[in-house]
Amino acid sequence: MAAMSNYMGGYQLQSIQGPSDAMLKNNSLEGYTQVSRIGEVVVNAFIDTYEYATVPETFTAAEMSGEVFKDSDGNFKTLAGDAPAADAVGSPIEGRPHFFEWATATTGQIALTRRMRSTFRNYVAAETACPVIACAACRGPLDEVDFQFAGVVRSNSIRTMDDGIGPQTDEYFTLAIGGMATILNNSSSVVHPGDMISWTFVSESNPANSKNRGGKGPRRVGIRIADFFDENVIGRAITFAKSGAPLDILVTL
């Protein structure tokens, strides 16, 4: 219970590793149950290891709020293209996770794929499966334009620590791209049936409060209630869900 209160009281909802996380109270009592398999549409997927190389070593609160970004030379810039004040950037609040943490995908997490209109992934695997990411660590609102919804993780892909040389095999898993799915409401809002749901890299009410995130796992892709112009819609809610509670949705691509 103490660990659970640290999750909720510290606003670390995105560090909960999906609706099947053992730290959730409902899972310790009754386990995780998928809402239904009726009418689901499934596709194969694998974690895009190229994306791990693009994850920055550190991330600041200003980057997480979308106020600044790093240019190609690694210098901080504001949205207007100017250099921000030294005290506006702040110190890093998040670091790049280990690969085995970053590349793990568990049931109910949201998976994204890069909008590769001009980038070719030289993967043989990509001919039969979708290269995706399931971790939002060191990514902020300004990175969302480069990604799109790929599906909801349907089967686990658990990576283990490697020998320092690198992963030995690709771990394939499946995504639900249609039908009903159970995800986690890791936003700061109560979700009602009929609400349109969209994905986001930052959904916590106080994302800068990340000093206690260590030990709870990296940030996962979050959700928010979509507005009319939202391009990141993933589906429609079919149940109520308060913050930190499982949520059933009807997935739409």
* Domain residue ranges of the chain, discontinuous segments joined by +: 2-52+96-116+123-251, 56-95
DSSP classification of residue 41: E
**In the predicted model, what is the mean pLDDT of residues 168-194?**
89
Record the pTM. 0.87
Reply yes or no on whether the pLDDT at 89 is more than 60.
Answer: yes
Consecutive H or E run containing 25: helix 25-30
pLDDT tens readout for residues 196-251: 999 999 987 766 665 555 456 789 999 999 988 899 999 999 999 998 889 999 99
How many other C-beta atoms lie within 10 A of the C-beta of residue 18? 25
Q: pLDDT averaged over the chain?
A: 83
How many other C-beta atoms lie within 10 A of the C-beta of residue 46? 20
Cβ proximity of 133 and 113 under 8 Å: yes
Task: Decide which of 178 and 91 is more confident.
Answer: 178
DSSP classification of residue 49: G
**In the predicted model, what is the mean pLDDT of residues 5-14?**
57
Query: Kind of pairing, strands 233-237 and 222-225?
Result: unpaired
Q: Residue 117, SS3?
A: coil
Distance CA 167, CA 38 (A): 35
Consecutive H or E run containing 225: strand 222-225
Give Cα 212 distance to the centre of its chain: 18
**In the predicted model, what is the mean pLDDT of residues 80-105?**
83
